[in-house]
Amino acid sequence: MAHILVVEDDEQFRGMLVQMLTQDSHRVTIAHDGDEGVRLSQQLRPDLIITDIIMPHKDGIELIMELSNLSVDIPIIAMSGGRRAISAEFNLESATLIGVKSTLAKPFTRNDLRQAIRQALA
């Protein structure tokens, strides 16, 4: 299966996501924010990145744009539940415009996750 970098600041959600991925036999590395996500992406070159959009220090949009500027060619799935005044739909639409392979609106099912991974890795 794939080596997946999960970039998610919410500990509880990150734990649930990692559990789903490891149960599907993926190898998972975690990053707690966008800064760590950029560093680990360059260092480890995972097969896939799954990133939240709204995070401290460097959000998911900034992470995606920085990886693009660095010519790091790793498929990305963006996920968002929408917080503050910004909706999940807006966040995910923005991510699609800058080149993510797939999006997930939180909450999502295991089947939604599997489908997004298949789509991103195709």
List, in order of start, the domains of the chain with CATH numbers.
3-121 (3.40.50.2300)
Give the type of residue at 19: Q
Q: What is the pTM of this model?
A: 0.90
Give the type of residue at 62: E
Count other C-beta atoms under 10 Å from residue 81's C-beta: 17
| Rounded-to-integer distance, Cα 23 and Cα 117, Å | 14
Q: Tens place of pLDDT for every residue, the chain, 122 residues?
A: 999 999 999 999 999 999 999 999 999 999 999 999 999 999 999 999 999 988 888 989 899 999 999 888 999 999 987 554 456 566 667 777 677 888 898 889 999 999 999 999 99
Q: Are 59 and 33 in contact (CB under 8 A)?
A: no
